[in-house]
C-alpha cells in the first residue's frame, strides 16, 4: 500500500518536470513564434535563420531542465541510476544543440550560395555535407560525455570505410563528381545547359548522387548522374553571362532596296524587344548581310535578350511581325528558284527531237 509520505516525496519532482514541459510548450507557441515572425519582418536574413533553427528545441531544453531539477529533488535514487539519468539528459542537450547547429549551418550555406549565385538556391549537396559534418562532431561530443572512447571508433570506421569504398565505387564517383562540379563553379543551380547527349534544361539542384535538370519543353525532370555530367561535353548558356544573342536568318529578293530592308528590320526588332521587355541594357539589334544566295540576298538579325530562355518567344514574335511588315513595305521574301539551261537538241524521254521537216530524228537517244 502506498503511503502518503511516498506520494508527497514525488510531488515536487513531478511538478518540476511538468512545469518544465509547460514552459517549453509556452516558449514554442508564444515566445519563439513571435520572435520568428519578427525576424521575417526584418531585412536581415541571419536572424530568421537562427529562429528557424530553434524550432522545437526550446521545448527540449525546458523539459530537460525540468527533468534535471526533478532529479536533484529526489533524494533516494541510487548513485548509478542518478549518474545514468544525468548523462542521458546531458546527451539530449548536446544532441539538441547539434540539431540547431546543423540547421544553422545548412541555412548559412544556402544564404552564402544565394549571394554568390545572384539569388539562386544552393545545392542540396553542400547543405547535406554541412549537416553531416556538424552531426558527426556533435556525436563525438556526446560519446565522450557518455565515457565512450572515440579513438578506437574512428580507427574502426577508417578500416571499415575501405571496404565500403570498394563496394560503393559508383556512388562515391558520383559524390566526388558532385563536389568537382560545385567547386569548379562552371555549372550552378539556375543555369541553362545543353549536354552533348542532347538533354537540355535548367539546373535545379546538385545532389550527392545526381544533378536534376528541368526540361525546357515539358517541365519534366531529367536526372543526370554527377559522374556523367562531369565527363560530358556541356554548353552552359548562363556562363560567363546570362544575356544571349538571338539569331534569325532572313533572305530578300535581289531587286530589294537593301538600306530600306535594314531600316525596316531594325525597327521591327527594336519594337519586339521593347514590347516584350526582354532587351538587355542599351544593346541595339544588329543586321549583317552575309551571302548572295541562289534566289535571295541572305542576312542575319541579332537581338540581345536578358536570358537564354527568352529567345523562343522573341524569335516567334519577330518572325510574325517582320513578315507582316515586309508585306506592307513591298519587300519580297522569295521562294527558292532554280534556272535550268538545256543544250540544243534537249528532249524529254520518250519524245522525238524536232527536225527541219517537223519529224523526229532517227536514232536519237533519250535524255
Q: What is the DSSP string of 243-258?
A: -EEEEEEEEE-TTS-H
Same domain, 15 and 125: yes
Neighbours of 339 (CB within 10 A): 6
User: What per-residue confidence (pLDDT) applies to 79?
Assistant: 67
Same domain, 206 and 250: no
State yes or no: cis peptide before 240, omega within 30 of 0.
yes
43 to 38, 39, 55, 97: CA distances (angstroms)? 10, 8, 20, 26
Predicted pLDDT at 113? 65
Asked whether residue 336 is assigned to any structural domain, the reply reads no
CATH of the domain at 264: 3.30.70.100
Shared domain check, 84 and 136: yes
61 and 139 assigned to the same domain? yes
Answer yes or no: is 183 within a domain: yes
Q: Where are the alpha helices (DSSP H) in the chain?
A: 4-26, 33-41, 45-53, 57-73, 79-116, 124-145, 150-167, 169-184, 226-231, 258-276, 311-329
Residues 184 and 217 in one domain: yes
The last residue of one of the domains, among 152, 170, 188, is 170
Q: Which residues pair with 292 in a beta bridge?
A: 297
CB 279 within 8 A of CB 304: yes
Q: Are residues 226 and 255 in the same domain?
A: no
* Residues 118 and 202 grouped into a single domain: no
Encode the chain (367 residues) as per-residue pLDDT tens digits: 445 455 566 677 788 888 888 888 888 888 777 777 776 767 666 666 777 777 888 888 888 888 888 877 776 666 677 777 788 888 888 888 888 888 888 877 777 766 665 445 556 777 777 888 888 888 877 777 777 766 666 666 665 665 555 556 677 777 778 877 777 777 888 888 888 888 888 888 888 788 888 887 777 888 888 888 888 888 887 777 667 888 999 999 999 999 999 999 999 999 999 888 888 878 889 999 999 988 899 999 999 888 777 888 899 999 999 999 999 999 999 887 777 777 776 665 655 555 555 554 444 444 4
Q: 277: which 3 cell numbers?
A: 521587355
What is the dihedral angle through the alpha carbons of 198, 201, 203, 206, rounded to the nearest 10 degrees?
-40
Last residue of a domain, one of 170, 203, 222: 170
Name the domain boundary from 143, 170, 197.
170
**What is the reported pLDDT for 353?**
56
Predicted local confidence at residue 44, as pLDDT:
65
Distance between CA 316 and CA 267 in Å, rounded? 16
User: Domain range holding 276?
Assistant: 244-329
- Long-range pairs for 215-222 at CB < 8 Å and ≥24 separation? 216/192, 216/309
Q: Please, are residues 13 and 66 in contact by the beta-carbon 8 Å criterion?
A: no
The tally of domains found in the chain comes to: 3
- pTM for this prediction: 0.51
Packing angle between helix 33-41 and helix 45-53, nearest 10 degrees? 160
Co-location of 166 and 284 in the same domain: no
Q: What pLDDT was estimated at residue 351?
A: 55
**Does any domain span residue 77?**
yes
> How many Å apart are CA 162 and CA 147, to the nearest integer?
27
Amino acid at each position: 500500500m502506498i503511503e502518503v509520505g511516498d506520494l508527497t516525496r514525488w510531488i515536487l519532482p513531478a511538478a518540476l518536470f511538468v512545469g518544465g514541459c509547460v514552459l517549453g510548450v509556452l516558449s514554442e507557441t508564444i515566445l519563439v513564434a513571435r520572435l520568428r515572425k519578427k525576424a521575417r519582418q526584418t531585412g536581415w536574413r541571419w536572424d530568421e535563420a537562427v529562429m528557424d533553427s530553434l524550432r522545437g528545441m526550446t521545448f527540449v531544453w525546458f523539459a530537460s531542465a525540468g527533468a534535471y531539477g526533478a532529479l536533484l529533488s529526489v533524494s533516494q535514487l541510487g548513485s548509478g541510476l542518478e549518474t545514468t539519468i544525468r548523462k542521458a539528459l546531458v546527451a539530449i542537450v548536446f544532441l539538441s544543440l547539434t540539431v540547431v547547429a546543423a540547421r544553422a549551418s545548412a541555412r548559412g550555406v544556402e544564404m552564402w550560395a544565394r549571394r554568390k549565385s545572384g539569388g539562386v538556391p544552393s545545392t542540396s549537396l553542400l547543405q547535406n555535407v554541412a549537416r553531416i559534418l556538424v552531426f558527426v562532431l556533435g556525436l563525438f561530443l556526446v560519446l565522450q560525455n557518455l565515457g565512450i572512447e572515440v579513438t578506437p571508433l574512428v580507427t574502426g570506421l577508417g578500416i571499415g570505410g575501405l571496404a565500403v569504398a570498394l563496394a560503393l565505387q559508383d556512388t562515391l564517383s558520383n559524390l566526388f563528381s558532385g563536389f568537382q562540379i560545385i567547386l569548379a563553379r562552371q555549372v550552378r543551380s539556375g543555369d541553362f545547359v545543353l549536354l552533348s547527349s542532347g538533354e537540355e534544361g535548367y539546373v535545379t539542384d546538385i545532389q550527392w548522387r545526381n544533378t536534376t535538370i528541368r526540361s525546357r519543353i515539358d517541365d519534366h525532370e531529367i536526372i543526370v548522374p554527377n559522374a556523367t555530367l562531369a565527363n560530358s561535353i556541356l554548353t552552359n548558356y548562363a556562363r560567363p553571362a546570362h544575356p544571349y544573342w538571338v539569331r534569325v536568318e532572313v533572305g530578300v529578293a535581289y531587286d530589294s532596296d537593301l538600306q530600306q530592308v535594314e531600316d525596316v528590320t531594325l525597327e521591327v526588332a527594336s519594337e519586339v524587344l521593347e514590347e516584350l521587355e526582354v532587351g538587355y541594357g542599351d544593346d541595339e539589334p544588329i543586321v549583317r548581310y552575309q551571302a548572295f544566295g541562289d534566289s535571295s540576298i541572305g542576312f542575319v538579325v541579332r537581338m540581345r535578350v536578358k536570358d537564354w530562355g527568352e529567345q523562343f518567344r522573341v524569335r516567334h514574335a519577330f518572325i510574325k511581325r517582320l513578315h507582316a511588315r515586309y508585306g506592307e513595305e513591298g519587300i519580297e521574301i522569295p521562294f527558292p528558284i532554280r534556272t535550268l539551261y538545256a543544250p540544243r537538241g534537249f528532249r524529254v524521254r520518250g519524245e522525238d527531237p524536232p527536225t527541219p521537216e517537223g519529224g523526229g530524228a532517227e536514232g536519237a537517244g533519250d535524255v
